[in-house]
Structure formats: structure tokens, C-alpha cells
């Protein structure tokens, strides 16, 4: 019984301790607001939820992006790479100068540093992904020109 009381007292002292930058952080789903994808960075209807802003520990931002059918990012690259985990639907990703590729729920995609690319839903199906985007000197993306309809449909 003494051990149970000691453990309970220890847990209570941890719970009442002030939250520090290196503490566990929980962002409940209801607390994370969806915002429309910025028109300069997206074509079509998309929503972005900033699940976790970058910090000194992660050096990455984590976001959930929902693309309606036909929606996509502009061409862009990342100074430290990006990891995509497709959570729903079916989409396309294309590296500059290469053939467009299909991505679908369950797929994990690594985009290396500096690779110019775009990603989004297909023209007929919606797609969602979690994006882990890594930071260098406070920057995680270089947004470029829009993907033309001709490029999108190739």
C-alpha cells in the first residue's frame, strides 16, 4: 500500500508541475482548426490542419491536408525534405521532369531535400495525407509556380 501511495503522490507532483518546452504536448482533434489552403500555394479546394508547429525538438511541422477531387499544391520543394503518409483516398504526386505517380491510403512517401514536386487529389477522388515537413533555418518549404491543368492531367 505504501508503494501505491508513493506512486500516487509522485504522479500528483508531476501533474501539477509547470509545462515546459520538453513536456508531452497533446493537441486534441477538436482543438485543431481546419483552414482553407492558401490560394498562392494550392489550386482547388483544400483544408490544412496544423497538428504540430515546429519546435527545437522536432525541427518539423506536422499537418493534415485534405484535398477535394482536382485540388493540388503548387510546385514546391523542401530545404530538408518531407514525409507524406496518405490517410484516405487516392492522389497523385509528380517530381519535376518525371511521370506523375499514384498514391493512396496507406502509402508513405519520402520527398528528398530540394526536389521540385507537387501532390494532391486525382481529378475524380479526394485524398488526405499527414505531412511531416522538416525545417532548416526556420524554413520548411519553397513555394513555386502553379501546376497547370495540362501538367496536372498528363
Give me the domain span that covers residue 145: 35-152
Q: Is residue 124 part of a domain?
A: yes
Average pLDDT, the chain: 86
Q: Is residue 140 part of a domain?
A: yes
Split into its structural domains, the chain has a count of: 1
Q: What is the pLDDT of residues 38-53, one digit of tens each?
A: 999 999 999 999 998 8
Residue carrying C-alpha cell 491543368: 149
Q: Is residue 15 part of a domain?
A: no
Q: Is residue 2 part of a domain?
A: no
Supply the DSSP symbol for 6. Answer: H
Give the CATH number, domain containing residue 40: 2.60.120.10
Q: What is the pLDDT of residues 74-107, one digit of tens each?
A: 999 999 999 999 999 999 999 999 999 999 999 9
Residue 10's contacts (CB-CB under 8 Å, 6 or more residues apart) are none
Task: Please calculate the CA angle 86-90-91 and round it to the nearest 5 degrees.
Answer: 85
Q: What is the pLDDT of residues 3-39, one digit of tens each?
A: 333 333 333 333 333 333 578 888 888 888 999 999 9
Q: Is residue 106 part of a domain?
A: yes
Q: Is residue 50 part of a domain?
A: yes
Amino acid at each position: 500500500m505504501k508503494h501505491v501511495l508513493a506512486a500516487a503522490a509522485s504522479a500528483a507532483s508531476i501533474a501539477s508541475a509547470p509545462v515546459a518546452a520538453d513536456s508531452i504536448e497533446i493537441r486534441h482533434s477538436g482543438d485543431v482548426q481546419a483552414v482553407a489552403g492558401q490560394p498562392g500555394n494550392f489550386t482547388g479546394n483544400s483544408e490544412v490542419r496544423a497538428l504540430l508547429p515546429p519546435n527545437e525538438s522536432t525541427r518539423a511541422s506536422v499537418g493534415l491536408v485534405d484535398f477535394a477531387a482536382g485540388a493540388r499544391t503548387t510546385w514546391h520543394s523542401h530545404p530538408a525534405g518531407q514525409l507524406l503518409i496518405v490517410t484516405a483516398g487516392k492522389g497523385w504526386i509528380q517530381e519535376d521532369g518525371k511521370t506523375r505517380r499514384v498514391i493512396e491510403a496507406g502509402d508513405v512517401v519520402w520527398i528528398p531535400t530540394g526536389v521540385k514536386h507537387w501532390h494532391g487529389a486525382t481529378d475524380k477522388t479526394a485524398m488526405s495525407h499527414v505531412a511531416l515537413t522538416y525545417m532548416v533555418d526556420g524554413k520548411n518549404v519553397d513555394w513555386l509556380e502553379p501546376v497547370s491543368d495540362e501538367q496536372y492531367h498528363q
